[in-house]
Amino acid sequence: MAGKLQQDGETEPKQFPMTELFRSLIGKGKMQLIFFLIFLLFFPFLAPFLKDFNDTLQWRIASNPNYPWPKYDDLWLACYSCIILIGLMLLFKFSLKPLAERIIVPRYTGKERTTRAEKLVESLFKALYFTFSVVFGYWVAKDSYFLSWKLGGKGDVNLMWTDFPFQSTETFPYIREYLMIQLGYHTQSFIVHILSKPRNDFMEMLLHHSLTICLLTSGYLMNYVVMSHLVLFVHDIPDLFVYLTRIFMDTKHKNITFLSYIGIMISWAYLRLYIYPFDLIRMGSFYDNPVSHEIYGMGILSGMVHVLLLMHIYWYVLLVKMGFKFVMTGVPADTQKKLNEE
């Protein structure tokens, strides 16, 4: 039977499983469709990039066999980190969920209260991780020649490609371990995301996680480690404030929520909308990069970092709306979830 008759006599269109799956992934927002199209557009460019990736890597290694070039085996550290982080996250949810349910404001009840408790614990786990990553990332690079005064260092971002492709890591010896732990975290986030029930921000976060993993993996193996470190560092500080805000947004601590939100707005504007495009993309992409001709996959990599910038601008607009709504109503709301629903 093509469809069932409704009470008014009209025929309801037949529903197809793939159509329903597509709708659940894209949601109702037009922005999610745009993110989906961007996601699809990357595949034709990614294929030729990956095709010659290993040949280029092996040629680089053979050109200087004495240099400690990153190896495929190093990715095992990312795998171990991913497994450990998944285990810690599950432990957090199991042990802290009852406590989270008790501190959430009374207006949430039943299933919604349970869901918000799970999100609170997840946000606590991520806030602790980003505290670790920010401290570790700064410790790794604090004495390096590339961490500028704008980020609390004594170096100069214009020197990030010094001696490329065979850059010495004597003044920042743990940078590779830092990058592999970060890759493990973002792989864990990708796995959790695709296994979770799709929300209205599913496609944008899928695009974000996919770009991050591609950039981190290729950047590490091609020894773009300095650029990779700086990009991660300027992203992690705003993320720390994001998850601090999400910890308190469903509790009675409105003042702490507001202060952490101010931390988001300041750090996001400074790091993701100023440092990231005008220092890192400028020196890492086509603009002022002195070794752009030597960077394999410059086109696709530049495209990825520019898409991330567009996503930062989009998210900042959502954050502004979130703040305005909080001031008007006194009730904080999850930026992506609530505003995309509207």
Q: Find the largest Cα–Cα distance for the chain.
A: 79
Q: What is the pLDDT of residue 86?
A: 95
Q: Which two tokens stand for residue 84?
A: 């450990």
Closest C-alpha among 218, 164, 228, 209 to residue 311: 209
Give the domain ranges of the chain.
71-341
Q: What is the pLDDT of residue 331?
A: 64
| CB-based contacts of 186, cutoff 8 Å, min separation 6 | 209, 212, 213, 216
CB 127 within 8 A of CB 247: yes
Q: How far apart are CA 147 and CA 154, in angstroms?
A: 6
Q: What is the pLDDT of residue 29?
A: 62
C-alpha dihedral sign at 225, 183, 131, 309: positive
User: How do the pLDDT tens digits run along the chain, 342 residues long?
Assistant: 444 444 444 444 454 454 555 555 555 566 777 777 887 888 788 888 888 999 999 998 898 989 999 999 999 999 999 999 999 999 998 999 888 888 888 888 888 888 888 899 999 999 999 999 999 999 999 999 999 999 999 999 999 999 988 888 888 999 999 999 999 999 999 999 888 877 777 888 888 898 999 999 999 999 999 999 999 999 999 999 999 999 998 888 888 888 999 999 999 999 999 999 999 999 998 899 999 888 998 988 999 899 999 999 999 999 998 888 777 776 666 544 443 343
Residue 6 buriedness (CB in 10 A; 0-12 / 13-18 / 19+): exposed
SS3 5: strand
C-alpha dihedral sign at 191, 194, 199, 203: positive
Q: How far apart are CA 147 and CA 144, in angstroms?
A: 6
Q: Global pTM?
A: 0.86
